[in-house]
Amino acid sequence: MFEHQWKCAWGHVDPHGIAYYPRLVEAMHQSGEEFLDELGIAYWDLHDEYNVSFPIVAMDMEFEKPVEVGDVLTFTVDPDLGTKSLGMNFEATHEDGSPAFEGHEQHVCVRLDDNEPVEIPDEIHATIEEATE
C-alpha cells in the first residue's frame, strides 16, 4: 500500500484553525497523483501517450477527527482497478495514528476525442495491477 505525507499549513485552515475541507480534497487527490507518479504513470503524460484521461466521476469523504494547522497526515492509497475505471480508497491518519478521515475517488478512463469511456490501456492496467498484488 502506498503512503504519502501532507502537512496542514496556515493557508489550509479556516478562521478557527481547522482545515477547510477543499484543502483536504486537494491533499487526498495529490496522494492519488503521487501514487500513480511513483508507478511511472503521470497524469500529465496520459493525454499525449495514450489519448486518454481519468476524470473523477464520484467522490466522498467521511471525517473522524479535525485536522488543524501544523498537523501532519499520512495518506494511504488503496486502488480498486476495473477494466474502464480506477477507484482510489484513502485513509488519512494523524501522527499519533488516530484516523482523520477516509475518502474515495472514482475515476473513469475516457478517450480525449469524444469523452467516451474506454478500457484502461494495457500497460497502465498491468502496472497498477502489479503494484496492488
Beta-bridge mates of residue 72: 7
Compute the distance between CA of residue 16 and CA of residue 20 in angstroms, rounded to an integer. 10
Name the class of domain 2-132. Answer: alpha beta
Compute the distance between CA of residue 34 and CA of residue 3 in angstroms, rounded to an integer. 9
The whole-number pLDDT of residue 132 equals 82
Over range 77-100, report the average pLDDT: 97
pTM over 0.85: yes
pLDDT > 70 fraction of the chain, expressed in percent and rounded: 100
Does pLDDT of 133 surpass 80?
Answer: no
The strand pair at 52-53 and 110-111 is best described as antiparallel
Q: Give tens-digit pLDDT for 5-24.
A: 999 999 999 999 999 999 99
Does pLDDT of 92 surpass 90?
Answer: yes
What's the order of all strands across the beta sheet hosting 85-93? 2-7, 72-81, 85-93, 99-108, 56-63
- Residue 31 in contact with residue 75, Cβ under 8 Å? yes
